[in-house]
Amino acid sequence: MAWLVVLSGLLTLITAVGMSLYGGGMKPRPGSQFQNPIVEFELALSAQEVFDVLLDPGSAEGKTLRAQMDRVNYADYVFMLCYSAFNACMFLFLGALNRARSRPFFASNRFMNLGLALAIVMLLGDAIENVQLLKLTNYQTLQEIPGSLLNLLIVFTRIKWVALFGSAILLGMAYAAYLGRSAGVVVTFLYCIGGAMGLVSMAVPMARPLAEVGTSLMAIGWIVTLVHAAIGAWRK
């Protein structure tokens, strides 16, 4: 199981870097609270916010940004497969570790099945979200954007993120059970605080930029788990 975590984790890391390079490196929008235009685009709540992120469709900057967004979102189909598989493998990995220490809930099939279900939910949510994002870059005026399209974006973006952040909290709790309160405090903090901040960002519109902080903490947690699994696989 450790080797599956290593493989899926490395693929997730490689595709994340590749997606960023393929997108061409987008800069934060002046005056925006977001550092990543992609996250700001995903979390848009209105047609006006969509156009604020994408800039004037008739300008050179707007055309370039739309092309970058499309490239990233097409590449994201590979990335979402990798990170969803990585999350599923991490649940199985931590379930096996907790089973060795007789931790009832986190060693149970129920915990691992929950992780697998969340991995499927985040994958489906991201896939449907991407369809809406790729459609939105084609509109030239605010009035053209259908309300139904925005509603689908809002719903499935949040389904994806809630599955991701909820998984992070569960992984942090599983680490706390496995390592104990002292040894597991750092990785538990990364997962649980990152996940909690992310969930708040989904529930409170004004707190949406917190999603970036939560994602960063969660990503560090992923790297810690990748290293942990790699050490375990190497020792075996």
Residue-wise pLDDT tens digits, 109-128: 999 999 999 999 999 999 99
> Which domain covers residue 140, as residue numbers?
2-235
Q: Which of 39-53, 94-108, 130-144 has the lowest mean pLDDT?
A: 94-108
Q: For 18-64, what is each residue's pLDDT tens digit? A: 888 887 678 888 889 999 999 999 999 999 999 999 998 889 999 99
pLDDT band at 105 (very low <50, low <70, confident <90, very high): confident
Q: With the C-alpha atoms ordered 200, 34, 14, 80, is the resulting torsion angle positive or negative?
A: positive
**Pair 153, 38: CB distance under 8 Å:** no
**Pair 216, 40: CB distance under 8 Å:** no
Residue 98 pLDDT greater than 80, yes or no: yes
pLDDT at 101: 77
pLDDT band at 183 (very low <50, low <70, confident <90, very high): low
pTM of the predicted model, to two decimals? 0.93
Residue 212 pLDDT greater than 90, yes or no: yes
Residue 100 pLDDT greater than 80, yes or no: no
pLDDT at 159: 98
**Pair 214, 224: CB distance under 8 Å:** no
Distance, CA of 55 to CA of 27 (rounded, Å): 13
Number of structural domains in the chain: 1
Distances in Å between the Cα of 171 and the Cα atoms of 3, 61, 124, 176 are 18, 41, 20, 9
pLDDT at 181: 64
In the chain, what percentage of residues exceed pLDDT 70?
A: 98
Of 207, 202, 128, 135, nearest to 168 by C-alpha is 202
Residue 182 pLDDT greater than 80, yes or no: no
pLDDT band at 91 (very low <50, low <70, confident <90, very high): very high
pLDDT band at 232 (very low <50, low <70, confident <90, very high): confident
**Pair 211, 161: CB distance under 8 Å:** yes
